[in-house]
Chains A and B, each alone.
Chain A
């Protein structure tokens, strides 16, 4: 254990890792401050750039963007009541009230320090939880891996949106995209329609960039411009010791909730932030202040959503299953560099994992240091006319994707994914299950067919393997629970 911490610290002090952590955090804060640019979009914009980089630096860069974006989202949330990211929506409630009372600097200071506390605690959980979980997963057989993939898909499908059925539709569409290309066992082309470019399949990175970045720009083109921020509110104020003592309880609540929500695939920062807000209010000595500018109402959600930036990586690193949009982008980065996160990565390339932990430590410290001085540039950026930002983002995305393999065909695939993402938003279908279907499709199919090869075609192998049986029962239970809950909700709505 002590060796792990020493490895993490020495990685955090490595020059290149510190540099990319700072760059990533800066990009993340600026991106997160722009309403409509989620952490996953900020990461997706940089993803093509990382193709030629060292794998560890690429992954640290993107993870740092995630860290920075969660703080960046709180800036417009506090100053103009417009959350920069979904997870900072809870911060808006009391943060904006504090700004209206002339306490914007105080709110921003609480957001920054709570974010640092959350980020560091989340990192500690990540370091402690990853290896034990990965060691359990090492004992998994092919049937167990198949069932794990099914569990991952059903968890995401049930937690990612309002409807289990729509979540399942998205997951199945993702699997459909994953099977395009060449059959892994016989080499027969599938759904390539004679196109040689499709023989190697559709790369998940194209789907992710299209679904997140392009579809968001298609939405933003019809949205009105966001409010301008006044420069007069640009002085950040760190909390005094008395305030730190008051914030201890909401930060503790945010940390605990963020830990559990982060580890649970599909739950994410937004759920953690709102739950933390509500629990902090319940346990506060001054619940009447909530909604009227309570510092605890800023501390709890900000701490929670920064804990999630680290704990959402637990299922990704230990099991290879991304639990959030941003973790899915990170998985894309791993795959682009030929790495498969999971228990085998921990065994074969532990330096990647300890390097990532060190990078996250550097990123959290960078977030605090950059956060102290970045407010002015953030305000400047948010105040730029939106049309110019849309034009710049679109040009950056199409250029970045082209740069991966110098393929115009791939840019076309990305645009098609963008259109699909837009249609999914109109139809209120969650996007994360589709992304998961794309990234897990190969694992699910290959382990399914490998299991049947082992058993000679007998499907009972999935029930005879104890781990596989438990995972399948969990999947079914979760799906049934979500379905029953949905039916009850629908009946309640119809009864009103």
Chain B
């Protein structure tokens, strides 16, 4: 995807978000203790500023695209770089998305599995996913890493790590 078109998408998303944000800010109720600005005043100003900045970005990217298009139609050798397809975009960012999913799963399962099991699983899955090939090596690394972190944080630093439904 060429940078101008991604800026266009960014600016459109930004304007929508800023609009919604300002609308919610305007709705924040004032109380008896409020000053003249009120609790929603500064957020409203931030949302409005963001809307204006995104609008400028929209104008900049639109005129940029039009200028490039005109140059191409006028027979210049300049080509607009073809946007990559959604399939290419997904392929490029698939691994990162899956790794993020692993991290979210860690947070979601932590109260149930407990720290030791959850972090061992995190070590194992993330290291394997990152490309480590030896299953035994990864397993040993995961066990050792989890134990080391548990010892450092709970025994040395005195931080109580979460216990799961199995009690550890």
Interface string of B12-35 (1 = CB under 8 A from A): 001000000100100011110111
- The distance in angstroms between the C-alpha atoms of A406 and B157, with both chains bound, is 13
Contact (Cβ within 8 A) A218 B42 = no
- A395 and B146 contact, Cβ closer than 8 Å, known pairs A179-B42, A188-B29, A449-B42: yes
- The distance in angstroms between the C-alpha atoms of A352 and B60, with both chains bound, is 47
User: Does B92 have its Cβ within 8 Å of any Cβ on chain A?
Assistant: yes
Count of chain B residues with a beta carbon within 8 Å of a chain A beta carbon? 71
Contact (Cβ within 8 A) B53 A390 = no
Contact (Cβ within 8 A) B100 A395 = no
Residues of A within 8 A of B3 (CB): 428
Contact (Cβ within 8 A) B130 A402 = no
Using CB atoms, name the residue of chain B closest to A182.
Answer: B39
Contact (Cβ within 8 A) B46 A391 = no
- The distance in angstroms between the C-alpha atoms of A448 and B129, with both chains bound, is 48
State which of A168, A191, A398, A419 has its C-beta within 8 Å of the C-beta of B53: A168
User: Does B74 have its Cβ within 8 Å of any Cβ on chain A?
Assistant: no
- The distance in angstroms between the C-alpha atoms of A449 and B45, with both chains bound, is 13
Give the segment of A34-42, A124-132, A380-388 that binds chain B. A380-388
Residues of B within 8 A of A139 (CB): none
- A399 and B92 contact, Cβ closer than 8 Å, known pairs A185-B33, A419-B100: no
Contact (Cβ within 8 A) B6 A187 = no
User: Does A52 have its Cβ within 8 Å of any Cβ on chain B?
Assistant: yes
Contact (Cβ within 8 A) A172 B10 = no
Interface centre among A49, A394, A426, A428, by most chain B C-beta atoms within 10 angstroms, is: A394
- A185 and B145 contact, Cβ closer than 8 Å, known pairs A387-B130, A399-B153, A426-B93: no
Closest CB-CB distance, B69 to chain A, in whole Å?
11
Contact (Cβ within 8 A) A415 B37 = no
Using CB atoms, name the residue of chain A closest to B118.
Answer: A398
- A452 and B37 contact, Cβ closer than 8 Å, known pairs A218-B96, A221-B95, A222-B95: yes
Contact (Cβ within 8 A) B130 A396 = no
User: Does B64 have its Cβ within 8 Å of any Cβ on chain A?
Assistant: yes
Interface string of A354-377 (1 = CB under 8 A from B): 000000000000000000000000
User: Does A339 have its Cβ within 8 Å of any Cβ on chain B?
Assistant: no
- The distance in angstroms between the C-alpha atoms of A494 and B65, with both chains bound, is 10
State which of A169, A190, A398, A418 has its C-beta within 8 Å of the C-beta of B122: A398
- A165 and B159 contact, Cβ closer than 8 Å, known pairs A221-B130, A391-B126: no
Closest CB-CB distance, A129 to chain B, in whole Å?
32
Residues of B within 8 A of A175 (CB): 46
Interface centre among A166, A387, A391, A445, by most chain B C-beta atoms within 10 angstroms, is: A391
Contact (Cβ within 8 A) A448 B30 = no
State which of A169, A391, A408, A422 has its C-beta within 8 Å of the C-beta of B50: A169
Residues of B within 8 A of A457 (CB): 36
User: Does A403 have its Cβ within 8 Å of any Cβ on chain B?
Assistant: yes
Contact (Cβ within 8 A) B132 A494 = no
- The distance in angstroms between the C-alpha atoms of A419 and B104, with both chains bound, is 11
Closest CB-CB distance, A315 to chain B, in whole Å?
23
Residues of A within 8 A of B104 (CB): 415
Contact (Cβ within 8 A) A52 B157 = yes
User: Does A217 have its Cβ within 8 Å of any Cβ on chain B?
Assistant: yes
Residues of B within 8 A of A394 (CB): 103, 122, 126
Complex interface residues of chain B between 111 and 168 (CB less than 8 A to chain A): 111, 115, 119, 122-124, 126-132, 138, 141-142, 145-146, 149, 153, 157-162
Interface centre among A173, A225, A402, by most chain B C-beta atoms within 10 angstroms, is: A402
- The distance in angstroms between the C-alpha atoms of A219 and B103, with both chains bound, is 14
Interface string of A417-432 (1 = CB under 8 A from B): 0110010001111000
Residues of A within 8 A of B129 (CB): 221, 387
Closest CB-CB distance, A217 to chain B, in whole Å?
7
Complex interface residues of chain B between 72 and 121 (CB less than 8 A to chain A): 78, 92-93, 95-96, 99-100, 103-104, 106-107, 110-111, 115, 119
- A interface SS class: helix
Contact (Cβ within 8 A) A386 B131 = yes
Contact (Cβ within 8 A) B132 A388 = yes
- A388 and B141 contact, Cβ closer than 8 Å, known pairs A403-B159, A494-B64: yes
- The distance in angstroms between the C-alpha atoms of A452 and B45, with both chains bound, is 15
- The distance in angstroms between the C-alpha atoms of A52 and B93, with both chains bound, is 37
- A395 and B119 contact, Cβ closer than 8 Å, known pairs A386-B131, A494-B67: yes
State which of B53, B141, B160 has its C-beta within 8 Å of the C-beta of A391: B141
Contact (Cβ within 8 A) B35 A185 = yes
- The distance in angstroms between the C-alpha atoms of A426 and B128, with both chains bound, is 25
Residues of B within 8 A of A183 (CB): 34, 39
Contact (Cβ within 8 A) A390 B127 = yes
Closest CB-CB distance, A440 to chain B, in whole Å?
13
Contact (Cβ within 8 A) A452 B157 = no
Contact (Cβ within 8 A) A494 B68 = yes
Contact (Cβ within 8 A) B31 A187 = yes
Interface centre among B119, B130, B142, by most chain A C-beta atoms within 10 angstroms, is: B130
- The distance in angstroms between the C-alpha atoms of A207 and B28, with both chains bound, is 25
Contact (Cβ within 8 A) B31 A186 = yes
Contact (Cβ within 8 A) A172 B145 = no
Residues of A within 8 A of B64 (CB): 490, 494
Interface centre among A168, A169, A183, by most chain B C-beta atoms within 10 angstroms, is: A183
Q: 12 new A-B pairs (CB below 8 Å) besides A186-B35, A387-B132?
A: A169-B54, A188-B28, A188-B34, A390-B130, A391-B142, A394-B103, A399-B161, A402-B159, A402-B161, A406-B159, A411-B107, A418-B103
Q: List 13 A-B contacts (CB under 8 A).
A: A185-B34, A188-B29, A188-B31, A386-B130, A390-B126, A390-B127, A403-B157, A406-B159, A408-B110, A411-B107, A411-B110, A412-B107, A415-B107
Q: Ordered nearest first, which 6 A-B pairs have the shortest CB separation?
A: A391-B127, A387-B130, A183-B39, A387-B132, A188-B39, A218-B96
On B, residues with C-beta under 8 Å from A are 3, 6, 10, 14, 21, 24, 28-31, 33-40, 42-43, 46-47, 49-50, 53-54, 56-57, 60, 64, 67-68, 71, 78, 92-93, 95-96, 99-100, 103-104, 106-107, 110-111, 115, 119, 122-124, 126-132, 138, 141-142, 145-146, 149, 153, 157-162
